[in-house]
């Protein structure tokens, strides 16, 4: 027997039923917290003091206070630097290089190479932080200091001497696997006739990458930049575990600043306002990327 086609109305209800569990979870864990943060951001809500007992509406006072706070402005600047160098530049370049290497025929140890790149992606954030804390530990017990000691260098307190550089490198290590997977899938979809035609025309390997491969996978590049920008702005655990935002606030990115205001200084309203501003910045970047992605499609 030939199955009867599902009526359009019944099909819509069927699709809605399938999407309902996911939409409920998004509403509870994404939309709900955003809505609550917006409400708290216009109050003087606190965890201690008179405001903890009876908070009240303060309008845009929290936002005005943040925009005149040099520490908050500096934290946003550090977040931009962190996202730019660790995600948009570092992870992108290394992920693209790894994807191009995996796409080459005859690469010796391709499986082992891919597994080594993927390993940081499956390591829990806490375990990764512990491993890097051991590697960058000051004194002669740190793994990196043992290596530099072989060439006669004195031990260095890496997380104190180069805190921002350290967390940028660690975040590159954590995220390069995602970039590699996304780019490798896009490169796999390029027709071999196109690459062979470029080789016949005498294109060098560099020209093949810049003039053929990158233009053909630009949709994947834009999608990667969108996703990694959103994710990297929210990095908290790795930085907090390693540096607590120090030394001297040098690694106090926006996520650390929000945590400190809300749970160290107990000013929940101010912390919520900072999170809303961060959300607005991320959404602005997201809109730019989405418009660029639509233009490419």
What's the pLDDT tens digit per position in 31-84?
999 999 999 999 999 998 888 888 899 999 999 999 999 999 999 999 999 999
Token pair of 86 as six digits: 């660790």
As given in the structure block, the two tokens for residue 42 are: 């216009």
Altogether, the residues listed in the chain come to a count of 297
d(CA 252, CA 255): 8
Q: How many CB atoms lie within 10 A of CB 36?
A: 11
Give mean pLDDT, residues 218-227.
89
Q: Is the pLDDT of residue 184 over 80?
A: yes
Backbone angles phi, psi at 233, to 5 degrees: -60, -30
Can you read off the two tokens belonging to residue 21?
A: 């569990």
pLDDT at 119 over 70: yes
Which pLDDT score is estimated for 84?
A: 95
Question: Residue 221 pLDDT more than 80?
Answer: yes
Please tell me whether residue 188 adopts helix, strand or coil conformation: helix
pLDDT mean over 188-210: 83
Structural domains of the chain sorted by starting position, each given as residue range(s) with its CATH number in brackets: 42-296 (1.10.3720.10)
Residues 89-118 have a mean pLDDT of 85
Low-confidence winner among 102-111, 212-221, 242-251 (lowest mean pLDDT)? 102-111
CA distance 245 to 240: 6
CA 276 – CA 281 distance, rounded (Å): 9
Percentage above 70 pLDDT, the chain: 96
Which two three-digit tokens encode residue 59? 């309008």
Q: What's the farthest any 2 CA atoms get from each other in the chain?
A: 81
pLDDT of residue 6: 55
Mean pLDDT of 92-96: 93
Residue 217 has pLDDT above 60, yes or no: yes
Residue 43, beta-bridge partner list: 57
pLDDT at 1: 44
Low-confidence winner among 107-116, 150-159, 232-241 (lowest mean pLDDT): 107-116
Supply the pTM of this predicted model.
0.89
Question: When comparing pLDDT for 208 and 228, which is higher?
Answer: 228
Q: How far is CA 109 from CA 72, 104, 106, 173, in A?
A: 47, 12, 9, 20
Cβ(89)–Cβ(171) below 8 Å: no
- Tell me the CA distances in angstroms from 263 to 74, 238, 256, one per residue in order: 20, 18, 10
Q: What is the pLDDT of residue 91?
A: 94
Q: What is the pLDDT of residue 124?
A: 87
Name the token pair of 133: 């804390």
Q: Which pLDDT belongs to residue 292?
A: 80
**What count of Cα atoms within 13 Å lies in the side-chain half-sphere of residue 11?**
5
**199 close to 208: Cβ distance less than 8 angstroms:** yes
Q: Is 155 exposed, middle or buried (0-12, 13-18, 19+ CB in 10 A)?
A: middle
Q: What is the pLDDT of residue 5?
A: 54
Residue 75 CB contacts under 8 Å (≥ 6 apart), including other chains: 252, 253, 254, 256, 257
Q: What is the pLDDT of residues 230-285, one digit of tens each?
A: 999 999 999 999 999 989 899 999 999 999 999 999 999 999 999 999 999 999 98
* Euclidean distance between CA atoms 270 and 192, whole angstroms: 55
Average pLDDT value for the chain: 88
Question: What per-residue confidence (pLDDT) applies to 45?
Answer: 93
End-to-end CA, the chain:
41
């Amino acid at each position: 027997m030939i199955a009867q086609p599902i009526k359009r109305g019944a099909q819509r209800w069927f699709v809605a039923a399938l999407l309902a569990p996911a939409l409920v979870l998004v509403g509870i864990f994404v939309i709900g917290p955003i809505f609550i943060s917006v409400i708290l951001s216009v109050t003087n809500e606190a965890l201690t003091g008179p405001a903890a007992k009876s908070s009240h509406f303060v309008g845009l006072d929290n936002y005005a206070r943040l925009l005149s706070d040099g520490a908050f402005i500096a934290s946003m600047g550090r977040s931009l630097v962190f996202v730019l160098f660790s995600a948009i530049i570092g992870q992108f370049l290394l992920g693209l290089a790894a994807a191009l290497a995996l796409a080459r025929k005859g690469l010796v140890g391709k499986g082992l190479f891919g597994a080594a790149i993927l390993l940081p992606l499956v390591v829990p954030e806490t375990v990764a932080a512990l491993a890097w804390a051991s590697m960058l530990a000051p004194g002669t017990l740190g793994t990196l200091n043992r290596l530099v000691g072989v060439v006669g260098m004195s031990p260095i307190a890496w997380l104190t001497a180069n805190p921002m550089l350290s967390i940028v490198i660690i975040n590159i290590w954590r995220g390069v696997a995602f970039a590699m997977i996304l780019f490798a899938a896009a490169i796999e979809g390029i027709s071999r006739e196109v690459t062979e035609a470029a080789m016949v025309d005498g294109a060098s390997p560099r020209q093949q990458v810049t003039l053929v491969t990158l233009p053909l996978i630009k949709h994947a590049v834009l999608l990667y930049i969108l996703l990694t920008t959103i994710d990297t702005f929210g990095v908290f655990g790795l930085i907090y575990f390693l540096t607590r935002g120090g030394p001297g606030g040098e690694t106090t990115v926006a996520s650390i600043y929000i945590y400190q205001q809300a749970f160290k200084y107990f000013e929940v309203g101010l912390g919520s306002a900072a999170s809303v501003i961060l959300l607005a910045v991320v959404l602005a970047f997201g809109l730019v990327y989405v418009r660029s992605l639509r233009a490419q499609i």
